[in-house]
């Protein structure tokens, strides 16, 4: 669970990304130069990655931290598995 600052930061970034997506759609409709469009798509990808970072930080600071402090070994192992699964997917590029 993210804290209120992280929620606000993620929301602000997502709204910016939403605007960038609308801009890319307009660029495509206007048949703008492909490289210019690709530059904007890279900016969106970068923005999404930052949102992922915010969400992961929130997860680590709350859910994972609480689990590691608990006496519940099954929950600790589950949180470790979740993080390893996410890291594995990110390393594969998806």
Domains of the chain by residue range: 4-91
**pTM to 2 decimal places:** 0.84
The whole-angstrom separation of Cα 43 and Cα 59 is 24
pLDDT, tens digit (0-9, with 9 covering 90-100), for 56-87: 999 999 999 999 999 999 999 999 999 999 99
pLDDT, tens digit (0-9, with 9 covering 90-100), for 12-23: 999 999 999 999
Do residues 78 and 26 make contact, with C-beta atoms less than 8 angstroms apart? no
The pLDDT score that the predictor gives to residue 77 is 96
CB atoms within 10 A of CB 21: 14
Which homologous superfamily is 4-91 in? Answer: Metal-sensitive repressor, helix protomer (1.20.58.1000)
């Amino acid at each position: 669970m993210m804290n209120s600052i992280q929620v606000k930061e993620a929301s602000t970034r997502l709204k910016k990304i939403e605007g960038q997506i609308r801009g890319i759609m307009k660029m495509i409709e206007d048949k703008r130069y492909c490289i210019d469009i690709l530059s904007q798509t890279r900016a969106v990808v970068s923005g999404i990655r930052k949102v992922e970072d915010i969400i992961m930080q929130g997860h680590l600071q709350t859910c994972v931290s609480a689990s590691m402090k608990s006496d519940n070994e099954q929950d600790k192992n589950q949180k470790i598995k979740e993080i390893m699964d996410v890291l594995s997917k990110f390393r594969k590029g998806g």
